[in-house]
């Protein structure tokens, strides 16, 4: 199936991994088909949005029948490049970084942290979650063309200079867990995840928009 990736809204693209995870779980349980309502209840996205998301990719289901689980699984695997391993590096082996290394996206079979960097002598030269930890001074030497994604879990004050080095080393995408708002060239994609802001937003919604 062919479709124009440039016409897929970013909000839809962000929901695709969520759909894929649920479909994979359905497939593992032996379920053959699923309705948009079942998808909606599972992923907490309304049915109309799911149908609209799927419509960008053509006829993924049939009215009155729902969606074929095997077909959806195959489609999303191909669309999300699940058969291609994306190698990731992590900068900053503190508490959060260490948690990432132990987790290492075990439920996501197309991404894997293969190396980490820090400046702490107690961590450099060790392995955490089977991932080798190198000194930050080795960053340019260790990052090669096969690495395009970096996770940033460093103190905010050093986030920008480290980002500059990552960009110069060929990194194309950065997942930023620092509160710093980093400047990058237009060709670099960066996603900011500020846990403190997310927590504050959650508390605000709990107080002002309580669920019945």
DSSP annotation of 39 reads H
pLDDT on residue 76:
79
Supply 86's token pair.
Answer: 């994306």
In-domain check, residue 71: yes
Task: Find tokens 């996770």 and name the residue.
Answer: 151
Confidence (pLDDT) at 62: 63
- What is the per-residue pLDDT for 100? 93
The answer to the question of residue 128 being in a domain is yes
CATH number of the domain within which 48 lies: 1.10.10.10
Domain boundary among 78, 100, 124: 78
Whether residue 122 is found in the same domain as residue 170: yes
Are 104 and 181 found together in one domain? yes
Other CB atoms within 10 Å distance of the CB of residue 20? 20
Binding residues for NAD(+): 92-97
Evaluate whether 171 touches 147 at the Cβ level (below 8 Å): yes
CATH number at residue 93: 3.40.50.720
Q: What is the pLDDT of residue 98?
A: 95
The H-assigned helical ranges of 44-158 are 47-55, 69-79, 95-103, 139-142
Does the model's pTM come out above 0.85? no
Please indicate, yes or no, whether residues 185 and 93 belong to a single structural domain of this protein. yes
Does one domain contain both 58 and 108? no
Task: Give the residue among 80, 63, 76, 73 at the shortest CA–CA distance from 32.
Answer: 73
Q: Domain limits at 25?
A: 5-78
Which residue positions in the chain have pLDDT lower than 50?
A: 1-3
> 92 to each of 11, 52, 117, 148, how far by Cα in Å?
29, 40, 6, 17
Domain count, the chain: 2
Amino acid 51: pLDDT:
83
Q: How far is Cα 187 from Cα 153, in angstroms, rounded to an integer?
A: 22
Q: Which two tokens stand for residue 41?
A: 């209840």
Q: What is the pLDDT of residue 212?
A: 62
Residues 118 and 93 in one domain: yes
Whether the CB-CB separation of 174 and 182 falls below 8 Å is answered with yes
Q: Which residues are annotated as a binding site?
A: 92-97
Which of 23, 56, 78 is the C-terminal boundary of a domain? Answer: 78
Per DSSP bridges, beta strands 189-192 and 86-91 are unpaired
């Amino acid at each position: 199936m062919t479709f124009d990736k440039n016409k897929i809204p970013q909000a839809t693209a962000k929901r695709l991994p969520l759909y894929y995870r649920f479909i994979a779980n359905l497939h593992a349980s032996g379920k053959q088909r699923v309705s948009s309502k079942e998808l909606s209840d599972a992923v907490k996205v309304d049915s109309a949005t799911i149908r609209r998301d799927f419509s960008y990719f053509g006829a993924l289901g049939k009215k009155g029948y729902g969606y074929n689980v095997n077909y959806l699984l195959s489609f999303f695997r191909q669309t999300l490049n699940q058969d291609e391993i994306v190698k990731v590096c992590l900068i900053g082996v503190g508490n959060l970084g260490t948690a990432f290394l132990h987790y290492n996206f075990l439920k996501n079979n197309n991404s894997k942290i293969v190396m980490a960097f820090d400046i702490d002598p107690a961590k450099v030269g060790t392995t955490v979650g089977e991932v080798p930890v190198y000194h930050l001074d080795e960053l340019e030497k260790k990052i090669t063309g096969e690495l395009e994604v970096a996770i940033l879990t460093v103190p905010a004050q050093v986030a920008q200079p480290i980002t500059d080095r990552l960009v110069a080393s060929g990194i194309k995408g950065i997942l930023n867990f620092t509160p710093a708002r980093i400047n990058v060239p237009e060709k670099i994609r960066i996603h900011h995840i500020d846990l403190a802001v997310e927590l504050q937003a959650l508390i605000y919604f709990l107080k002002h928009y309580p669920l019945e």
